[in-house]
Amino acid sequence: MLITDLLKQEFRKGFRSQAFYRGLAVKILMGFLALYFAVLFVLMGIVLGEILNEVHDTLKPLELFNGASLYVLLSVLALRFMMQSLNVLNLQTYQSLPIKRKTLVNFMLIKPIFSPANYMSLLVIVPFALKSVVVWHSGWVALQFVLNWVLLIWVNIWLASYLKRRFGHDFKLLIVILAVILGIAALEYFKVFSLFDISMSVFNFLTMMPFGWLATLVFAGLAYGLNLLFFSKNYYPEKFNEKLNRNENKVVGGLSFLEKYGTIGELIQLQIRLIFRHKRTKTLVYLSAFFMLYGLLFYTSEMYTNSAIWLVFCGLIITGMLSITYGQWVISWESNYFDAILTKNIPSKEYIKANFYILIAFNILSFLLTMPYFFFGTKIIYLHIAMFLYNTGVNMFLLVYTAAFNTKRVDLMAKSAFNYQGTTYKSFLIVLPIMFFPMLLAGVLGIFTTYNIIMLVFGLLGLVGVLLILQQMKLCTNHFNKRKYAMAEGFREKE
């Protein structure tokens, strides 16, 4: 079969590639690490039934597992959408050969289901089925349970691929999805409905009804069909690139008003174009949106809401993760053409101001998007306002000032998932004062005073920073002028 031949060719290409043998020692070490986690997952699957049996008096372990399944699948889908690299194929290589278009598309869609990494969850599922589901129900239910999860993994892979290809370049849709997730979480928090009950009902049907797995097979077929439909309209690279450019223009085309603000406006416009044109910067935006959901974990647990330290940590992440993750490399993102910036008539003062303004804009955007958390009470309102002011008045200065110490080139065209290229020990040192000093300050203040006073202190620190923002920009400009030639020298070195 031709698809089988293509899969064999892809497998051989991976082993024959020079990149496979480069850093082989690290790959072997990662293999041992993967083996370690595999053993942990198997052990987790063995004891999971006993743990779940103690959690609830009336519900069986499988019912509890099914109740949590929808949360797990949606979380994995979100992570795949943000971090999974899409399978690509050099169509020009194959289009000159007598291979049907349908065969190439099927090959590209089938290839990811042969990746062992996609089946790590089965290391928990299979032991749980053999140890607990067989005991509480029957062998057929256990078999159907495992089969359902294999099919659900396929659904997740194909659905994430379709969503990323179809909507991965539409930032507005990301905001809508985030708003919907927050809305659903709020409805569940206020007990309008229970996603747990819905999940338990659906997965109990799929698992316990005779041949329930056929319904999951239909879902897998629909997800596969969506991808086929997409490729039927976007098979040729010119057509697909045309749509990508059109989507990009929707995002950045409405920014022409920035040009009336002179050099600063043009620099901000270029920064936004840079973000939406490259994989790595776009992935940071998606991950930052994911971190905005952390409030659903922290704000619904008394263990965290009763601790000022944890609340400050969560508030910093939710209201500032976008600016913090992007701001660490706010100068390094332009390392590929940093020499051009130095040689053009761009005053350092204007360049630094543009970086300040775009990070502040990120803070404002994050604050507005996380306003639904205000329904959790005045405690959270005070937290978000205080952390927004602190991020804007203090952390923005630290980010722009310390960014000048990073002299490592950043490859914007490199893969987006698990890419640490351009990261050095300096990147971690930058995070220390930004993330851990506020937590330390909150802990010390918590010994002597109340929560409201702690929030007032953070708010005042941020407000003072905002009032002194022109002085902060001046300090950063002077520091940038001292470091710019060292940065340029470092950026010229390619790995």
Q: 43 is written with which tokens?
A: 């052990």
> Tokens 């955007």 belong to which residue?
365
Q: Does one domain contain both 187 and 314? A: no
Q: Cα(207)–Cα(204) distance, rounded to whole angstroms?
A: 5
Q: Does one domain contain both 191 and 300? A: no
Q: Does one domain contain both 282 and 197? A: no
Max distance between CA atoms of the chain, in angstroms, equals 77
Q: Does one domain contain both 148 and 229? A: yes
DSSP 229-287: HHHHHS-SHHHHHHHHHHHHHHHHGGGGGGGGGHHHHHHHHHHHHHHHHSHHHHHHHHH
314 located within any domain: yes
Give the list of residues 6+ apart from residue 330 with CB closer than 8 angstroms, or none.
355, 358, 359, 399, 400, 403
Instruction: Collect the ranges in the chain with pLDDT lower than 70.
Output: 1-3, 5-27, 82-99, 168-175, 177-178, 182, 189, 234-261, 412-428, 494-495
Q: What is the pLDDT of residue 468?
A: 92
- Range(s) of the domain holding residue 424: 278-491
The answer to whether the Cα torsion of 144, 145, 150, 152 is positive or negative is: positive
Q: Does one domain contain both 469 and 351? A: yes
269 located within any domain: no
DSSP-assigned letter for residue 332 = G
Which candidate, 367, 365, 388, 360, places its Cα nearest to that of 473?
360
Q: Does one domain contain both 39 and 177? A: yes
* 299, 305 Cβ separation under 8 angstroms: yes
Q: What is the pLDDT of residue 252?
A: 46
CA distances from 407 to 51, 346, 351 (A): 49, 20, 17
256 located within any domain: no
DSSP 286-305: HHHHHHGGGHHHHTT-HHHH
Q: Does one domain contain both 289 and 168? A: no
pLDDT tens digits, one per residue of 55-86: 777 888 888 888 888 888 887 887 777 666 66
Round to the nearest angstrom and report the end-to-end CA distance of the chain. 41
The answer to whether the Cα torsion of 282, 279, 424, 269 is positive or negative is: negative
Q: Does one domain contain both 347 and 445? A: yes
pLDDT tens digits, one per residue of 349-364: 888 888 898 888 889 9
* 428, 301 Cβ separation under 8 angstroms: no
432 located within any domain: yes
Q: Does one domain contain both 346 and 399? A: yes
Q: What is the pLDDT of residue 16?
A: 54
Q: Does one domain contain both 436 and 323? A: yes
Tally of CB atoms within 10 A around 366: 25
Task: Give how many domains the chain has, as a whole number.
Answer: 2
End-of-domain residue from the set 202, 235, 268:
235
Q: 470 is written with which tokens?
A: 């022109």
Determine if the pTM surpasses 0.75. no
11 located within any domain: no
Q: 193 is written with which tokens?
A: 């409905």
Mean pLDDT of the chain: 79
Q: What is the pLDDT of residue 53?
A: 83
b/e burial code for range 205-241 (CB count within 10 A of at least 16 → b): ebbbeeebbeebbebbeebbebbeebbeebeeeeebe
Q: Does one domain contain both 227 and 296? A: no
End-of-domain residue from the set 200, 235, 270:
235
Q: Cα(399)–Cα(392) distance, rounded to whole angstroms?
A: 10
* 418, 341 Cβ separation under 8 angstroms: no
Q: What is the pLDDT of residue 98?
A: 67
End-of-domain residue from the set 178, 209, 235:
235
381 located within any domain: yes
249 located within any domain: no
Q: What is the pLDDT of residue 180?
A: 72
CA distances from 237 to 7, 15, 158, 233, 242 (A): 22, 28, 20, 11, 8
Q: 381 is written with which tokens?
A: 């309102």
Helix, strand, coil percentages, rounded to 5, for the chain:
85, 0, 15
129 located within any domain: yes
Q: Does one domain contain both 314 and 436? A: yes
Q: Cα(399)–Cα(391) distance, rounded to whole angstroms?
A: 10
Fill in the amino acid letter for 379.
K
Q: Cα(402)–Cα(328) distance, rounded to whole angstroms?
A: 8
